[in-house]
Amino acid sequence: ILVRSSIAIPPRMLQLATLLLAFAFIGSALAFASEAPQRNKIALVSGANKGVGKEIARRLGSDPDITCLIACRNVELGEKAAADLRSDVTKDGVKCDVIALPIPFDLTDDESIEACAKYVEDEYSVLDILINNAAICFNDPTLYGVLKEPVGFRDQADITIKTNYFGTLATTQSFLPLLKKSTSPRITNIASAAGRLTILQSQELVDKFTSETLTIPELSELMEQFVADVQDGTHSEKGWPNTCYGVSKLGIIALTKILARQHPDTLCNSVDPGYCKTDQNNNQGVTDPSRGAYTPYLLSVMEPESDEEGEEVSGLHFFEEGEIPWSYQ
């Protein structure tokens, strides 16, 4: 069902909360009119044992029409988080429906990713919503806590890009067949202001990342080039920034736009949750993780919609319920 909001919307800006209210009303009316039972939508959030990921799972699991799966590297921590979330009960008496995958999910291990996809296929046969949230950042003191010694910038590049970019790519590709079975598939990639275009100091690089014909192999080559340039000490002179995490999130935003072009039947968007108070920044953030989880939740439950220019809400980058330019300017 395609519903256009009667509220004036600035060009290429989406008022997600307003649309959600309209869709909730229509959805309630349709549910009342039909007695046919409908299955819950199946959502999966990676890296959801804490922080923004856990809060996204809380919001999705508290929706009576959604069963939310969480995929975590540490199964025990995932099960603990799921048990904590299941203890939540909404004001309407709805229990948070969250289930932790009983097998480890590791962005650096393709076999573990494929095993998780196989598990979801065997248990649920379909996936409606994929939230790619899992990532690493070398500012995270909990990450340093599991490392034997601090990792230098040159080594950070390979680990960060392999985990955040290539791991997310592998996850998306592994779950795409299940998403294609959904009547309204969604992919939401959690990005960051750290991945804004302005971190690039080369117009040539900007042009490559923003090209409408950029392919996944070409983007992957760019990400590998960054790692190589960091390792040989030439990244700065070639226009790359001094942030591995930023480049990984730059790649995630670019990947989102490619996926939206390649899969027009799937709503693919990226979200900046804001500077949330999480382990990643030693809890120095200024935004509550539950606030950062709101836009990913809205993108997961809203109906497909077109803006005033007739474009689908896909291939866009969001911050606080509104589309934001990739340049942040």
Name 44's bridge partners: 69, 130
Which range has the worst mean pLDDT, 122-126, 141-145, 237-241, 318-322?
A: 141-145
What average pLDDT does this structure show over 254-272? 97
Q: Which pLDDT score, from 0 to 100, does residue 151 have?
A: 76
The pTM of the full predicted model, rounded to 2 decimals, is: 0.85
Average pLDDT estimate for 122-141: 88
pLDDT digits (tens, 9 = 90+) for 273-285: 875 556 565 566 5
Per mean pLDDT, which range of 49-63, 213-227, 234-248, 266-280 is the poorest?
A: 266-280
| Mean of pLDDT values over 93-109 | 94
- The catalytic residues are 245
pLDDT for residue 205 is more than 80: yes
- % of the chain at pLDDT higher than 70: 78
Q: What is the pLDDT of residues 191-201, one digit of tens each?
A: 999 999 999 99
Q: How do residues 56-95 score in pLDDT, each as one tens digit?
A: 999 999 999 999 999 999 999 999 999 999 997 777 778 8
**In the predicted structure, residue 142 carries a pLDDT above the cut 60:** no
> Which residues sit opposite 52 in a β-bridge?
none
Is pLDDT above 60 for 14? no
CA distances (Å), 32 to each of 24, 35, 99, 283, in order? 12, 7, 28, 44
Indicate the range of 15-19, 126-130, 249-253 predicted with least confidence. 15-19
Starting at the edge strand found earlier in the chain, the sheet holding 267-272 runs: 98-100, 66-71, 41-46, 129-132, 186-190, 267-272, 317-319, 322-323
Q: Is the dihedral of CA 155, 161, 162, 167 positive or negative?
A: positive
> What DSSP designation does 306 have?
B
Question: What pLDDT does residue 311 have?
Answer: 66
Can you tell me the distance from the alpha carbon of 256 to that of 249, in angstroms, rounded to the nearest whole number? 10
